[in-house]
Amino acid sequence: MTQGRIAQLSCQELVELITEYLEGTLAPADLARLERHLDGCDGCRAYLDQMRETIAALGRLPAESLSPQAEEKLLVAFEGWRKGSRG
């Protein structure tokens, strides 16, 4: 990294930080890098828009609308994803 310059954020790094970004919990330096990346990346802006739309749609679903089987499948999938994202 060049002195006085902040390293660019990759698309993969953005995906890994998007939840914290949407929750407003990113550190200021990471927030600046993420927003700078979004300014120049149409794909990541589209991804962010999709995540916001998904959150908005899910926020309108009553918990009872999810069957116990579907809930279990989602929990298993999420746990597998989470373990995989840790390397």
| Res 39: pLDDT | 94
| Res 1: pLDDT | 36
Where is 16: in which H helix or E strand?
helix 11-23
Selection from 81, 75, 20 nearest residue 48 by Cα? 20
Find the domain containing 25 and state its range. 11-85
- The verdict on residue 2 lying in a domain is no
CA torsion angle 77 81 44 61 (round to 10): 30
Q: Rounded CA gap, 31 and 42, in Å?
A: 18
Q: What is the number of domains present in the chain?
A: 1
- The verdict on residue 4 lying in a domain is no
pLDDT of 14-65, one tens digit each? Answer: 888 998 999 899 999 999 999 999 999 999 999 999 999 888 887 776 767 7
Say how many C-beta atoms besides its own lie within 10 A of residue 66's C-beta: 14
Confidence band (pLDDT; 50, 70, 90) for 66?
Answer: confident
In degrees, rounded to 5, the angle at the alpha carbon of residue 80 between the alpha carbons of residues 8 and 24 is: 45
- The verdict on residue 37 lying in a domain is yes
- The verdict on residue 3 lying in a domain is no
Structural contact between residues 49 and 21, judged by C-beta atoms closer than 8 angstroms: no
- The verdict on residue 69 lying in a domain is yes
- The verdict on residue 53 lying in a domain is yes
| Res 7: pLDDT | 66
- The verdict on residue 5 lying in a domain is no
pLDDT of 71-84, one tens digit each? Answer: 888 888 877 766 76
- The verdict on residue 6 lying in a domain is no
